[in-house]
Structures are given as structure tokens and as C-alpha cells.
């Protein structure tokens, strides 16, 4: 019998085993990654197209090309697509990033053949009908006009421009006029260039059978599709960071200000990255972090503040973000720099380092426990151009990092003079 009065023994995670996908090549050359896990009769399929915001020649081109795939094809109208997916209990997600466009399908195994028929038509023969495009653009433009009045959006736009420069793909933001320039022709041009069997890969995860693989092969892998002669490449763009220390965007009606502080940082491939993540987590990467304990719990300046490292095709960016009442912004900035200085001078106590280590270990375990999260993990490896050893190296760095290494990293990367301070809100 289980004695519930006795606390279970706490065991440290010493090894991590992330089930690798079965990597196959379909008949037409498309890489197929099969993650066979789970007991439920459900699968998730992700089609990754090498066509992100980095590739577009016109703002919003990537977003609306991907979004319009479900708005009508040679075989199905937008209403028929929605009706069929709903009838079979399937779910379709369309999303984009800097380097990729994603088509994600969740389907019951027994209906996969029927749902694949719909997705095949969406991917291979979209029409980009002008009537539906006008509706989608108008809806998105309306949402954009609402968001563009929010301090969070204004601060993010200013911060990205300050870090990358406004000519860099990561620093360019659309205006209301850009929505009016989106046409069916420009989307078709983007689709023809990038949506083909020579520029994609597929992940399928769940309870996978030979029958499912055969269905997938017959649908997407048997013959080439699209204009495969077109080749995708990432053009280089120079980063042009501002030399200004502070940028302020006025929003006269704002009750709160949005604050973002940061700088250009190393990429995931850098040797310091693994242990730097531990430093950033201690600083502001979880609810019990230094920033939260000081600025939220002790000072009461904000409901939440966080820090993190975002990765982009050619660099990484470190950022601290929060929203607070206008009168607290200056005090928050001082406390952020104070916490940086503390990490540069004092050793992190063993109790705090162990707590953060256990938090990050638990987070790793949760991230790789199911078939769909495993699929996310391996797609992350591909899209970040990392090696299969990334998970093991992350674990080893997390287990072995010392307080002295944390202090050295803080001295090396928390150089306050290069931090850009971006504020959007009402001036005092």
C-alpha cells in the first residue's frame, strides 16, 4: 500500500532521452520525420515551407499567403474546407515565422485520409480569391489599427527598429497602408516561388501505422508538386543598431507604459549559450526570478516582468519586458540595472542555483513528454539549425554550471552601457 504520509524521494535528473524521429525521404525527395509515440488514435502533421518573413519582397506577403490557403482551392470553397474539417473533427493551424511557414493538421487516425485530401488541395492548388482576400485583409487591418494604439505594440516596434534597423527584416513593421497593397497577384507570386515539394519538409507525430505513412506518401510524397525549379535562400542583411540609449514613443491616453530593455546577444550555436540561459532564468526567466522578487514582490511596481533571449536567423536578442504605471518606469530601470550589477559582483547562493536548476530540469521534462511536444522539439532543432546533441548538451550545461560561471557570464554579457531602453506611454 502507498503510504501518503511519506514524501516520495526526490531524485535529480541525470540523463535525458529524447526519442529521435525516424528520418525518411519520400519518393519526391521531401524529408519526412516520423515520431511514433502515444496511445491515442490521433496524429499531428506539420508541413514546413522554407518561406518566412525574411523571404518576402513586400510586407505582409508571407502572412497572407499562408493565411489564404484555406480560403478556397480548385476543389473546395472556403466554406467547404471549414465544413469538412469540422465534420471529421480535425483542426488546421496556419502560422509563419522569420524563416518558415507552417501548415499544421490535427486529425483522428480513422479520418486522416479524408482530412489529407483537404490539406492536399490547400497546399497544392489554392486560388487566393479576391473576395475572400478582401474580407481577410479588412479583418486583419482592423485588428492592426486596434493593436497599433497599444503601448506593448508601440514599444515592440520601436525596440525591433532600434536593435536591427528599419531596413532589416526583423526591424520592419507594416503600416495601415501596407494592408491596402496586398493583392491576390502578389500572394500568388510568393506561393509559386516557395510552395513546392523541393522547399518543404514534413513531420508526423502520434500513433503512426504503415497505413498512415502510405496515405502520406500517396498524398504528398509520390510526385513532385509546385514549381520545384525555384530555389529558396536567405539573403544576408546587416544589423544597424541605434546609437541612442533611450527611445520614447508618446501615447497620450495610456494609463501604463510598456518598457523594453535589451541588446544584441549571441546565437544558440555559441558555446556560452547553454549556461547563459541559466543566468537569464535566474535574472528574469521564471516567477521566482530576481526581477520578479524585487520589482513585483518587494517594490510592487508591476504585475510581472521577465527577461529572455530571442533567436533570429543571424543573431540573438536579449530583452527585459514589463508594463507598469508611468510614474514607476524610471525606478524599474534603476532596479533592472541594480540586479544586473548584483549578478556581476556576488555569487548566486547554492540554494537559488539549485532551485533554478530544478525548475529548468522540470521544464525540460514537461516539454518532451508527449508525441506533439516531441515534434515541436525536433522542428525546433531543424529550424534553428542545431545538432541532435542540443538536448544532451543543454542538460549537461544545466547540471554542471557553477555560481562562478554565472558571475563571469553576467560580467561578459550584462554590459549596461550597450542596453537600449525603449518606453511607450504617456510622458510625465
Predicted confidence (pLDDT) per residue in 386-396, tens digit: 999 898 899 99
User: What is the DSSP code string of 367-408?
Assistant: HTSSHHHHHHHHHHHHHTT--TTHHHHHHHHHHH--HHHHHH
How many Cα atoms within 13 Å fall on the side-chain side of residue 97? Answer: 15
- pLDDT of residue 318 exceeding 80, the answer is yes
CA–CA separation, 280 and 21 (whole Å): 30
Average pLDDT over residues 282-293: 96
For residues 61 and 10, the model is more confident at: 61
Contact 62, 96 (CB under 8 A): yes
Q: What band does 12 get if pLDDT is binned at 50, 70 and 90?
A: low
For residues 339 and 229, the model is more confident at: 339
Q: Which of 136, 123, 144 lies closest to 221 in space, CA to CA?
A: 123
pLDDT of residue 366: 81
Q: What band does 19 get if pLDDT is binned at 50, 70 and 90?
A: confident
For residues 1 and 310, the model is more confident at: 310
For residues 296 and 232, the model is more confident at: 296
- pLDDT of residue 127 exceeding 70, the answer is yes
Average pLDDT over residues 164-168: 92
pLDDT of residue 75: 96
pLDDT of residue 173: 94
Average pLDDT over residues 333-343: 98
Q: What band does 215 get if pLDDT is binned at 50, 70 and 90?
A: very high
Average pLDDT over residues 133-138: 97
Contact 328, 300 (CB under 8 A): no
Q: How many CB atoms lie within 10 A of CB 353?
A: 17
Comma-separated ranges of CATH 3.30.830.10 domains in the chain: 22-221, 246-425
Average pLDDT over residues 112-121: 97
Q: What band does 233 get if pLDDT is binned at 50, 70 and 90?
A: confident
CB neighbour list of residue 85: distance below 8 Å, 6 or more residues apart: 91, 92, 115, 118
CA–CA separation, 155 and 183 (whole Å): 29
CA–CA separation, 327 and 306 (whole Å): 19
For the stretch 145-164, pLDDT in tens is: 999 999 999 999 999 999 99
Average pLDDT over residues 45-63: 96
- pLDDT of residue 251 exceeding 90, the answer is yes
What's the pTM?
Answer: 0.91
- pLDDT of residue 8 exceeding 90, the answer is no
For residues 7 and 68, the model is more confident at: 68
- pLDDT of residue 14 exceeding 70, the answer is no
Is the C-alpha dihedral spanning 380, 383, 389, 395 positive or negative? negative
Phi, psi angles (nearest 5°) of residue 85: -65, -40
Helices (H), 210-328: 210-216, 273-284, 290-291
Q: What band does 13 get if pLDDT is binned at 50, 70 and 90?
A: low
User: What is the DSSP code string of 213-236?
Assistant: HHHHIIIIISS--S-TT-------
List C-alpha distances in Å: 59 to 78, 170, 426: 24, 11, 29
- pLDDT of residue 223 exceeding 70, the answer is yes
The reply to whether CATH 3.30.830.10 applies to domain 246-425 is yes
Q: What band does 397 get if pLDDT is binned at 50, 70 and 90?
A: very high
**Which range, 13-22, 81-90, 164-173, is most confident?**
81-90
Fold for 22-221, please state it: Cytochrome Bc1 Complex; Chain A, domain 1 (3.30.830)
pLDDT of residue 15: 67
- pLDDT of residue 314 exceeding 90, the answer is no
Average pLDDT over residues 363-389: 89
Computed over every residue of the chain, the mean pLDDT equals 94
DSSP state of 295: I
Amino acid at each position: 500500500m502507498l503510504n501518503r504520509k511519506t514524501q516520495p524521494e526526490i531524485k535529480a535528473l541525470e540523463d535525458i532521452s529524447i526519442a529521435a524521429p525516424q528520418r525518411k525521404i519520400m519518393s519526391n525527395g521531401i524529408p519526412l520525420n516520423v515520431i511514433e509515440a502515444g496511445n491515442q488514435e490521433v496524429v499531428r502533421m506539420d508541413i514546413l515551407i522554407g518561406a518566412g518573413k525574411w523571404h518576402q519582397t513586400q510586407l505582409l506577403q508571407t502572412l497572407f499567403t499562408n493565411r489564404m490557403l484555406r480560403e478556397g482551392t480548385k476543389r473546395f470553397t472556403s466554406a467547404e474546407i471549414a465544413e469538412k474539417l469540422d465534420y471529421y473533427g480535425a483542426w488546421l493551424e496556419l502560422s509563419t515565422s522569420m524563416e518558415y511557414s507552417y501548415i499544421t493538421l490535427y486529425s483522428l487516425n480513422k479520418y486522416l485520409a479524408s482530412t489529407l485530401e483537404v490539406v492536399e488541395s490547400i497546399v497544392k492548388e489554392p486560388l487566393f480569391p479576391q473576395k475572400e482576400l478582401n474580407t481577410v485583409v479588412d479583418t486583419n487591418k482592423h485588428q492592426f489599427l486596434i493593436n497599433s494604439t497599444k503601448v506593448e505594440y508601440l514599444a515592440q516596434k520601436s525596440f525591433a527598429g532600434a536593435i536591427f534597423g528599419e531596413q532589416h527584416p526583423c526591424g520592419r513593421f507594416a503600416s495601415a497602408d501596407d494592408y491596402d497593397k496586398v493583392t491576390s497577384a502578389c500572394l500568388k507570386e510568393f506561393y509559386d516561388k516557395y510552395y513546392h515539394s523541393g522547399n518543404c519538409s514534413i513531420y508526423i507525430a502520434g500513433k503512426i501505422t504503415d497505413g498512415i505513412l502510405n496515405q502520406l506518401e500517396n498524398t504528398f510524397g509520390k510526385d513532385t508538386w509546385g514549381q520545384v525549379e525555384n530555389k529558396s535562400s536567405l539573403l544576408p542583411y546587416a544589423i544597424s543598431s541605434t546609437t541612442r540609449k533611450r527611445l520614447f514613443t508618446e501615447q497620450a491616453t495610456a494609463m501604463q507604459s510598456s518598457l523594453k530593455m535589451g541588446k544584441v546577444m549571441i546565437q544558440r550555436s555559441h558555446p556560452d549559450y547553454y549556461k547563459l540561459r541559466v543566468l537569464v532564468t535566474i535574472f528574469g526567466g521564471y516567477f521566482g526570478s530576481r526581477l520578479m522578487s524585487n520589482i513585483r514582490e518587494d517594490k510592487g511596481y508591476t504585475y510581472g516582468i521577465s527577461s529572455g533571449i530571442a533567436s533570429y536567423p543571424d543573431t540573438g536578442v536579449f530583452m527585459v519586458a514589463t508594463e507598469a504605471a508611468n510614474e514607476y518606469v524610471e525606478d524599474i530601470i534603476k532596479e533592472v540595472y541594480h540586479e544586473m550589477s548584483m549578478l556581476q559582483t556576488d555569487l548566486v547562493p547554492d540554494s537559488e542555483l539549485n532551485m533554478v536548476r530544478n525548475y529548468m530540469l522540470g521544464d525540460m521534462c514537461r516539454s518532451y513528454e508527449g508525441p506533439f511536444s516531441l515534434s515541436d522539439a525536433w522542428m525546433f532543432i531543424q529550424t534553428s539549425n542545431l545538432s541532435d546533441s542540443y538536448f544532451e548538451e543543454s542538460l549537461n550545461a544545466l547540471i554542471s554550471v557553477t555560481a562562478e560561471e554565472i558571475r563571469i557570464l553576467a560580467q561578459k554579457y550584462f554590459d549596461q552601457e550597450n542596453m537600449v531602453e525603449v518606453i511607450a506611454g504617456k510622458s510625465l
